[in-house]
Every structure is written in C-alpha cells, then in structure tokens.
Amino acid sequence: MTALPEILARFKLDRTRHAAPQVFEHLRALIVSMQLAPGTVLARGELAEGFGLSQTPIRDALLKLGEEGLVQIFAQHATVVSRIDLTAARQAHFLRLALELELVGALAADPDPATLARLQGALGLQRALLSRQDARGLLDDASYAEFIEADRAFHQVLYAARGMEALWTQVRRQSGHIDRLRRLHLPEAGKAASVVGQHQAIVDAIAQGQPEAARAALRLHLSGTLGQIDDIRQRHPDAVTG
C-alpha cells in the first residue's frame, strides 16, 4: 500500500478556491478508491504537513468526511478511516435504485438522440478501457480508476438528461460506502466487461423506447455488488461491518 505522505504529495492546491473543500474532495476520493483503507489513521498534523496547509482546513474536511460516515473522529485521539457500513451501503443502493428506475423509464418513454449520444460516449470510453485487460480479464489500478470515472459519467448523464443534477450530487454524497464495496467487487475477472454489457442493455432499451426493459436492465446492473456481499466480506473481513 502506498504511504500516506506519498499519496498526499500528489495533491495540487487550487489557490482560486477555498482549501477545505479541496482537502475533503481529495481525501474522499482516496477513501472511496480504497487507497486509504479502513483503519488508516489520519493525523491532523501529518495531513497538514502533507497538504502544506494549516490544521483548520484539515479539521473542517475531516468533519465533513465524518458526516458522510467515511471516517470516525475520536476527540483528542485520532481520526480513522471507517469500515464499510453495509447498512449505509444498502440505504444508498435503495435511494439510487428508486431514482434511476424512474429516470431510465422516463428516458425510454421519450428517447432523445443527444442523451443517447452522451450515454454512448461514456460507454465507449469504458469499452476502450477493456482493451487494457490482461489474459485473466483484469485491469490495472489506473485503468480501474478510469473505468469507475466513466461509469459515474454514464449514470450522471441519466440525471442531467432530466434536469436532476442536484439529485445526482445528493446521491454521490450518500454513496461513499456502496462505492467502496463496488471498488472491492470490481477487480474480478470479467466484471468490467459485465458492467459494459449491462450499460449497453440500458442504452439499447432506452433507444428502442422500452421503459420496462430499461428498468429491468438497470435493476440487474445495480444489484450486482450487494448480491456478492458474502463473498466480498469473506475476501475483505477487516474492511466491512454490519
């Protein structure tokens, strides 16, 4: 695992923005990608030195991470990256499924060529990344990171197409635990290719004006990770709770 100082050294502060939100965004991305694993101690002093900032923006960022349940803050002691909370993951999944079933149904009821083009664009990037798979059907860490970003872009298009960008922001704030589960689940042989196939089925159903087929394809797509909880827990017993 990469040492914390080395990870933080990659951070570049944008002087045109407040520091605390940038620290929050950077740490959140590291936690969700599992570069900062559950149990990692986040000492304010070390973080301040690594980011080249005072402890005030560090404290504010950690408090916000605590609100999302991604860290546990022990007063006068330490801040620790939390384990993946299955209850929180299930709740985030329920919220996202409810919203996106409505979105894909509405999009399929009135297919829009521009929206379909944006979905195909995100899907095309994921498909291109599959060419980097090794003989076992696995991607390297950098390619997985790009694949996940393309996956998020695909789903964000669904919200944007219906003018629901603010809802997408809310969903993202609730999704830290389920996203970490997906990160643990994704590096399996053939998993990335399966995601691409499921995305294509969603796009095809929307393009063909079939709301029920679009909802069925989306339900299958979003249910994959939670359906593998026992396997994920067995492979990563120290990362998951609940």
How many CB atoms within 10 Å of residue 113?
A: 8
Claim to verify: residue 111 and residue 44 sit in the same structural domain: no
Single pTM value for the model: 0.86
pLDDT at residue 131 in the model: 86
Q: Is 162 helix (H, G, I), strand (E, B) or coil?
A: coil
Claim to verify: residue 192 and residue 165 sit in the same structural domain: yes
- CATH number of the CATH domain containing 54: 1.10.10.10
Task: State how far the Cα of 159 lies from the Cα of 137, in Å rounded to an integer.
Answer: 31
- CATH number of the CATH domain containing 228: 1.20.120.530
Contact between 73 and 79 (Cβ < 8 Å): yes
Residue 10 has pLDDT above 90, yes or no: no
pLDDT at residue 165 in the model: 95
Claim to verify: residue 32 and residue 101 sit in the same structural domain: no
In which domain, by residue range, is 165 found?
A: 86-241
Claim to verify: residue 162 and residue 222 sit in the same structural domain: yes
Claim to verify: residue 38 and residue 123 sit in the same structural domain: no
Residues in the chain: 242
Q: Is 78 helix (H, G, I), strand (E, B) or coil?
A: strand
Residues ≥6 apart with Cβ < 8 Å to 207: 111, 116
Arithmetic mean of pLDDT, 22-44? 93
Claim to verify: residue 108 and residue 73 sit in the same structural domain: no
Domain end call among 82, 109, 125: 82
pLDDT tens digits, 78-120: 899 999 999 999 999 999 999 999 999 999 999 999 999 999 9
pLDDT tens digits, 196-230: 999 999 999 999 999 999 999 999 999 878 888 88
Give me the number of domains the chain comprises.
2
What does the mean pLDDT of the chain come to?
A: 91
Claim to verify: residue 127 and residue 178 sit in the same structural domain: yes
Domain end call among 34, 59, 82: 82
pLDDT at residue 230 in the model: 87
Q: Is 34 helix (H, G, I), strand (E, B) or coil?
A: coil
